């Protein structure tokens, strides 16, 4: 596939088939992912790949933690958001609504519990960062995430980045024996989409480029 097609076609999937993904395929995607640039070529990312019964266990543990703590999907803003951003988030949820109505599910419950279970994907990947790095190295992890979702798509696999689970970092680290000095920055679900599930027909929109750009000439 050409890069333009991959960029335009990729989207987040919120219902996966349980079909397992061969280890070699996951490695191939990660091998492409680590072509990502990083400051001073430090390559600070670490990938914890969770599959099989361990992934199911992780999902169960996170759903339990969510039910106990009720920390929902939220961007964790440190100040009230300027209106533009709030509107974008609200619009996205509004556009998703008919698909959830068709499914007869509660949108909050589906997204929160679905995120905790990586939407049923057979593979959950956690990208970690050593805690000796400054916050700025999160940029490198973000770039790697971008490479990962595009590389996966090239291989016919679909993804959903999962940030919600970071609220339950302690539980994740405990279950997966992730050392204390590693921060779990982001999770990603990887697998084949279940095309019978309406929410997978949803494609998010983008504002016009003019909204994001200021030329200084």
Ligand X SMILES: Cc1cc2nc3c(=O)[nH]c(=O)nc-3n(C[C@H](O)[C@H](O)[C@H](O)COP(=O)(O)O)c2cc1C
DSSP per position, 121-172? -SEEEEEEEETTS-GGGHHHHHHHHHHHHHHHHHTT-EEEEE-GGGGGHHHH
d(CA 37, CA 141): 10
3-state secondary structure of 11: coil
Which helix (H) or strand (E) segment holds residue 183: the answer is strand 182-191
Rounded to a whole number of angstroms, the minimum distance from the CB of residue 24 to ligand X is 26
State both tokens at 77: 């803003």
Minimum CB separation of residue 134 from ligand X in Å reads 19
- Shortest distance in whole angstroms from residue 110 CB to ligand X: 9
- Specify the residue, 26 or 124, whose C-beta has the smaller distance to ligand X: 124
Q: Closest-CB residue for ligand X?
A: 163
Four-CA torsion 166, 168, 169, 170, nearest 10 degrees: 170
Compute the distance between CA of residue 36 and CA of residue 33 in angstroms, rounded to an integer.
6
Nearer CB in complex with ligand X: 29/162: 162
How near is the Cβ of 99 to ligand X at its closest, in Å? Answer: 12
Tell me whether residue 25 or residue 88 sits nearer to ligand X (CB atom): 88
Nearer to ligand X, 26 or 167 (CB): 167
| Closer residue to ligand X in complex, CB, 120/161 | 161
Residue that the structure tokens 């556009």 belong to: 95
Q: In angstroms, what is the minimal distance from the CB of 11 to ligand X?
A: 3
- Residue numbers at the binding site for ligand X (CB under 6 A): 11-12, 14, 73, 92, 111, 115, 160-164, 186, 204
């Amino acid at each position: 596939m050409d890069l333009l097609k991959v960029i335009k076609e990729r989207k987040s999937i919120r219902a996966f088939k349980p079909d397992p993904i061969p280890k070699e395929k996951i490695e191939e995607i990660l091998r492409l992912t680590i072509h990502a640039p990083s400051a001073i070529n430090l390559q600070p990312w670490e990938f914890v790949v969770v599959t099989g019964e361990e992934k199911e266990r992780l999902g169960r543990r996170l759903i339990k933690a969510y039910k106990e703590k009720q920390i929902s999907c939220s961007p964790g803003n440190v100040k009230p958001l300027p209106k533009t951003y709030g509107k974008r988030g609200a619009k996205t949820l509004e556009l998703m609504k008919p698909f959830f109505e068709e499914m007869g599910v509660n949108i909050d419950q589906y997204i929160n519990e679905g995120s905790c279970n990586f939407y049923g994907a057979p593979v959950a990947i956690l990208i970690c960062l050593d805690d000796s790095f400054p916050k700025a190295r999160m940029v490198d992890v973000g770039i790697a995430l971008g490479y990962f979702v595009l590389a996966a798509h090239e291989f016919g696999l679909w993804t959903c980045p999962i940030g919600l689970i970071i609220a339950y970092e302690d539980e994740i680290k405990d279950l997966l024996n992730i050392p204390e000095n590693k921060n779990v920055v982001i999770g990603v679900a990887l697998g084949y989409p279940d095309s019978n599930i309406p929410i997978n027909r949803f494609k998010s929109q983008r504002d016009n480029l003019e909204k994001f750009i200021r030329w200084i000439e």
